[in-house]
Chains A and B, each alone.
Chain A
Amino acid sequence: MEQLSGLQITGAILWQFLPVWIALVIVLVGGGFIRGKLGLLGKLYDHPIGMIGLTIVLFWVFTALMADWIITFDPYTPVDGMKNKKPGWPVGGQEGHYFLLGGDNLARDVFSRVVAGSKTVLGIAPAATLIAFMVGITLGLPAGFFMGARDTALSFLANMVLAFPVIILFYLLVTRAMVQTGIPTYLAAVLFAFPIIFICTLFYTRFKTRPNELALYMGVTLVVGIWLYFSMVVTHIPNFKAPFADSYQVLAGWLDPIRPFSMDANTLNIFVAVVFVNSPTVFRIVRGLTIDVKTRDYVAAAQTRGESPWYIMLWEILPNVRGPLIVDFCLRIGYTTILLGTLGFFGLGVSPESPDWGATINDGRKLLLIYVHPALPPAISLMSLVLGLNFLADGLREESLKD
C-alpha cells in the first residue's frame, strides 16, 4: 500500500467528519428558518465574522459529541510499526486503513487523539465556566448592591486570588499530592454549592407568594442539585465512603454522554482549579455592572414596591446586565480552554496517555525539529476553537450593541 497524498488525506478527513457536517447543516439551516424567534442568536446571521465563529464552535461541539464515530483508531492503543510515521501512512496488515495525520512518538493515531481530545476540552471548559459564573454572580451581586464591609472583604479576597500568578496556583493546586490531601474536594464542596444556592434563591424570590410552584421548582432543583453534588463532590472525599456512593456513580454515568458529571479525582482537581481562577474575574465584572445599574429608575421602582433586595438583584439587575455577561461568557470559555491547554502543557493533572490537546502539544514539541505532524494538529485545533469563541463573542457584542 502506498502513502496517501495530501489531497487524499484531506478528502479522507473531510469524509470522517461527515456526521459533523450533517449536524452542522441541519442546525445552521434550521436556525436560519426560525432566526426571527432566536433573539440575539438569530441576529447573528447578519454578522459574517460572528457566523464564522458560531460555525467553528458548533463544529467542535458536534465533534466532541460524536467523537466515537469519527475516530479511526483507538486513541490510547499503539499500533505496531507506526511510530512517528508521516501523515497518510498505511497501517501494516490492515488493508485500506491509514493514519490520516500520522503516528505520534508512541505509535498512536494523531487524528483520533485530536478528535478524542476535543471531548476533554468541551467536557470541562463550558461547565467550569458556567460554575465560575454562578459563583461570581452569587457573590458579585450582593457585593455591588450592598457595598460596605461585605464588599471590602470579598473584593480583598478576589484581588488576592487575581494577584497570584495563575501558573504558580496551578503548580500548587493541581498535583497528585494535592489530590491525596483532599483539598481540591473541599474546594469543590464550597464552589459547587453556589449553583444550588443561586438557583434556589432565584426560584424562591420569584415564587415566594405562590407555594405550589415554589415547591415544584425548588424540589426539582434540590433533588437534581444534591444528587449531582453527591456524585461530583462527596464521593471524592478521601477516606470517606459516602452512603450509596456506588449507585450515585452509576446513575450519573447513565445520564451524561460527555461526562462532565461523573469525574475522576484528577479531572475534578483540574475542574476546581479552573473554576477557582475564573470566579474572581467574574465577581469583579458582576460587581462593577451592579454598581453601575443599581442607580437606575427601575431599581428604585422595585424598591418602592417593597421587593426584597435579592429579588431586585436577581430579577431586576441581572436580566439587565445579561448582554456583557453573555459576551464575557463566550470569551471566558475560550480563556478556560487556553488554561486547560496550559495545564496539559505542563503535564499537570492529566495522565500521560491522555489525548488532551495541551499535553499532546507538549509531547510533540520535544521532537518538533524533526517531526512536525504530532504537535501541529492539536495546536491548530485549540487555536481554532478559541478563535471561534472569540469571533462569536465579537459578533454577539456588536449585535447586542445595535439595539
Chain B
Amino acid sequence: MLQFVLKRLGVMLLTILCLTFVVFFLTNLYPNLERLAKTQGNNRMTAEQVESWLDGRGYNRNVFVKYGEWLGVVPGWTNEINGVPSGRCKPITGDVETAPSYCGVLQGYLGESTVFREFVSKIINIRLGLTGWLMFAAFGLMVPAALIIGVLAGMREGGKLDRSLSTFAIATSATPEYVSGVLFIVIFASSAGGLKWFKGSSTSAMDDINFGNFTLPVLTIALYGVGYIARMTRASMAEVMTSQYIRTARLKGVSFRGVVLKHALRNALIAPFTVIMLQFPFLLTGVVIVETLFNYKGFGWALVQAASNNDIELLLGLSIVAVIVVLLTQLISDIGYMFLNPRIRVS
C-alpha cells in the first residue's frame, strides 16, 4: 500500500515536471515573448527595441537554463536595465545585493506576475480562495442531487421514473456551461425573461456571497456535472438491484424501501465515488467559463488573464495548482476505491 502510494507520487512528480516544461516551452516561444514585450513595453516597439527589452529581462536565453532558474536549480539572472541593477530574484527583497542567488519553485518562490505586478503565490492564494467557495457550493449542490437522481432512476430500471430521470440526466450533460449560463441569465436575470430573481453578474459575491449573486454561477457549474454522475449512479444502482443478495432480502420479506435503503444503497455508491472525484478536472474548465460569464474574479478568471497576456510565471503557477488538484483527486479516488471495495487489492 505504502509502496503503491509512493510510486504514484513519483509518477505525479514526473508528470508535473513534464507538463510545466511544456507550458514553459510554449510560453517562451519567440512570437509569445514578442507579444509579452509589446504588451508590457509599448505596442509600437521596433524589432530592436523588442530584442533589447527581452535581453534586459533575461528572456533571450536557452529555454533549459530559464527553466532551471524557474525550478531553482540554476542561479537567477542578474542584469542592468537602463543602468539600474536588476535580477530574477530582486523582487523578493527589492534589492539585487541582498536577494538570494537561487530563487525558484524549490525555494518556494513562484515568481512575479507581469500583468498584476504581484507575487504569483499571493495571487494564487486570493483567487483560489474565491474559487474554493464556488467549487464548494457547486459540489454541495451537485453531488446530493446527482446521487438522488441516480438512485431513484436505478431503483426500478426501465420504469417511467427511470425513463424521465435518465432523459433529464442526458439533457444536462448535453448543456455546456456557456449555454446553460446564458439560458439562466436570460430566464432569471434579464428583463426579457421577466423574472429578475437573481443577478446576472457575481462580481459583488467576491466580498459578500448572498443568494442573489451566487445562485446562478453555482447552478450553472452544478448542472453540467449532475448528468454524468447521475448516469453512473444509475448504472451502479441498477446492477446492484439485480444481484443475488437483493433478491434474497426481497424473498425474505424485506420491504422495497428497506431493501433500497439498507442493502442496495451502500454498495451502489462505491462506483460513483470514483466518478465524483474525477469530476474535478472537468469542473476546472467549467469554473473558467462560469467565472468569465458571471465576471467572478477567481482562479479561472486569473487563468484567462494570465493566458491571454502570456504572463509566463503566473500561468505556470496556476498550471501547477491545476495539475496537482487533478492528480491528487485521481490518487484519492483510487485509494478510496480500494478501501470501499474489498474485492480490489493492489498487488
Q: Are B26 and A160 in touch, CB under 8 angstroms?
A: no
Task: Give a binary string over B1-31; 1 marks a CB under 8 Å from any A CB, 0 the rest.
Answer: 0000000000100110011001100110111
Nearest chain A CB to B74 CB, angstrom units: 24
Q: How many residues of B contact A (CB 8 A)?
A: 55
CB-based contact B174/A369 at 8 Å: no
Point out the residue from A164, A177, A334, A383 that lies within 8 Å of B323, measured CB to CB.
A164
In the complex, per-residue mask of B274-307: 1 if CB is within 8 Å of any chain A CB, else 0 = 0000000100110011001100000010011001
With A163-B281, A163-B326, A163-B327: A172-B307 Cβ-Cβ less than 8 Å: yes
Judged by a CB distance under 8 angstroms, whether B250 is at the interface is: no
Known A163-B19, A342-B176, A372-B192; judge A168-B319 contact (CB<8 A): yes
Binds B, one of A63-71, A125-133, A387-395: A387-395
Q: Which residues does B use to contact A, with CB under 8 Å?
A: 11, 14-15, 18-19, 22-23, 26-27, 29-32, 34-35, 166-167, 170-171, 173-176, 178-179, 182-183, 185-186, 189-193, 200, 281, 284-285, 288-289, 292-293, 300, 303-304, 307-308, 315, 318-319, 322-323, 326-327, 330
Residues of A contacting B30 in the complex (Cβ-Cβ under 8 angstroms): 181
Judge whether A342 and B190 touch: CB under 8 Å.
Answer: no
Report the minimal beta-carbon distance from B242 to chain A, rounded to whole angstroms: 14
Interface centre among A165, A364, A383, A390 (most CB of B within 10 A): A165
Q: Is the CB of B15 within 8 A of A171?
A: no
Stretch at the interface among A197-205, A250-258, A309-317, A374-382: A374-382
Residues of A within 8 A of B178 (CB): 341-342, 345, 358, 361-362, 365, 379
The verdict on A159 contacting chain B, using a C-beta distance below 8 Å, is: yes
Contact of B179 among A166, A167, A379 (CB under 8 A): A379
Chain A residues closer than 8 Å to B170, beta-carbon distance: 387, 390-391, 394
Complex interface: chain B residues within 8 A of A159 (CB)? 15
Residue of A nearest to B300 (CB): A167
Distance between B88 CB and nearest chain A CB, rounded to angstroms:
23
Which A residues are CB-close (under 8 A) to B326?
163, 165
Residues A386 and B315 in contact, CB atoms below 8 Å apart = no
Q: Which residues of A contact B322 (CB under 8 A)?
A: 165, 168
> Do B190 and A382 have beta carbons less than 8 Å apart?
no
Residues of A155-211 at the interface with B, using a CB-CB cut-off of 8 Å, are 156, 159-160, 162-168, 171-173, 175-178, 180-181, 183
* Chain B, residue nearest A384 (CB): B174
Partner of B284, one of A156, A167, A364: A167
Closest Cβ neighbor of B175 among chain A residues:
A383
Chain A positions within 8 Å of B31 at CB level: 176-178, 180-181
Q: Which residues of A contact B185 (CB under 8 A)?
A: 365, 368-369
Bound together, the chains give a CA A389 to CA B175 distance in angstroms of 12
* A49 & B176 in contact (Cβ 8 Å cutoff): no
A175 to B166 Cα, complex, angstroms: 39
Least distance between A341 CB and chain B CB atoms (Å): 6
From A163, A346, A387, B304 is in contact (CB under 8 Å) with A346
Verify B15–A160 contact, CB threshold 8 A: yes
| A338 on interface, CB distance cutoff 8 Å | yes
Bits for A45-70, please: 1 = Cβ < 8 Å to B, else 0: 00001000000000000000000000
If A160-B18, A160-B19 touch, whether A376 touches B182 (CB-CB below 8 Å) is yes
Tell which of B34, B288, B319 has the most Cβ of chain A within 10 Å: B288
Interface centre among B11, B26, B35, B171 (most CB of A within 10 A): B26
Q: Which chain A residues lie closer than 8 Å to B18 at the CB level?
A: 160
B171 touches A163 (CB 8 A): no
Q: Which residues of B contact A389 (CB under 8 A)?
A: 174
Residues in A with CB closer than 8 Å to B19 are 160, 163-164
Known: A165-B322, A165-B323. A342 touches B179 (CB 8 A): no
The CA of A341 and the CA of B224, in the complex, are separated in Å by 15
Closest CB of chain A to B37's CB: distance in Å?
12
**Cβ–Cβ contact A372 & B190, under 8 A:** yes
Check if B200 sits within 8 Å of A342, measured CB to CB: no
Task: List, in ascending order, chain A residues with CB within 8 A of B300's CB.
Answer: 167
A183 neighbours in B (Cβ, 8 Å): 26, 29
How far is it, in angstroms, between the C-alpha of A159 and the C-alpha of B14 when the chains are bound? 12
**Which residues of A have CB within 8 Å of B35?**
177
Chain A residues with Cβ under 8 A from B284's Cβ? 165, 167
**For residue A383, which residues in chain B have a CB less than 8 angstroms away from its CB?**
174-176, 179
Pair A387/B27 contact, Cβ less than 8 Å: no
Cross-chain contact B186 with A368 (CB below 8 angstroms)? yes
Residue of A nearest to B325 (CB): A165
The answer for the CA separation of A386 and B177 in the assembled complex, in Å, is 13
Most buried by B among A162, A177, A386: A177
Beyond the given A163-B330, A177-B35, A365-B185, please list 7 additional residue pairs across the A-B interface where CB-CB is below 8 A. A165-B281, A165-B323, A166-B285, A181-B31, A334-B174, A365-B178, A365-B182
Residue from A160, A166, A180 with most neighbouring chain B CB atoms (10 Å):
A160
Q: Kindly provide the distance from the CB of A60 to the nearest chain B CB, expressed in whole angstroms.
A: 13
Q: Interface centre among B167, B182, B193, B327, by most A CB within 10 Å?
A: B182
The residue that A167 contacts in the complex, of B22, B27, B173, B288, with Cβ under 8 A, is B288
Closest to A53 in B: B170
Closest Cβ neighbor of A345 among chain B residues: B178
- Pick the residue among A162, A163, A168, A364 that contacts B315 (CB under 8 A): A168
**Shortest CB distance A186–B (Å):** 13
Q: Could you pull out 19 A-B pairs where Cβ atoms are within 8 angstroms?
A: A160-B15, A162-B281, A165-B322, A165-B326, A171-B304, A181-B29, A181-B31, A342-B289, A345-B289, A361-B178, A364-B182, A365-B185, A368-B182, A369-B185, A376-B182, A379-B179, A379-B183, A382-B176, A389-B174
**A390 B173 Cβ-Cβ under 8 A:** yes
Q: Are A163 and B15 in contact (CB under 8 A)?
A: yes
Can you name the residue of chain B whose Cβ is closest to the Cβ of A365? B182
In the complex, A345→B300 CA distance in Å? 14
B interface footprint on A38-49 (CB within 8 Å = 1, 0 otherwise): 000000000001
Tell me how far the C-beta of A149 lies from the nearest C-beta in chain B, rounded to whole angstroms: 15
A372-B307 contact in complex given A163-B15, A365-B293, A383-B175, C-beta closer than 8 Å: no
Instruction: Give the shortest distance, in Å, between B183 (CB) and chain A (any CB).
Output: 6
Of A168, A338, A368, A375, the contact of B176 (CB 8 Å cutoff):
A338
Contacts of A162 in B (CB 8 A): 281
Complex Cα distance A208/B303, Å? Answer: 53
Q: Which residues of the partner chain B approach A369 to less than 8 Å between Cβ atoms?
A: 185, 189-191, 200
Considering the chains assembled together, what is the distance between the CA atoms of A165 and B167 in angstroms? 29
| Residues of chain B contacted by A365 (CB below 8 angstroms) | 178, 182, 185, 293
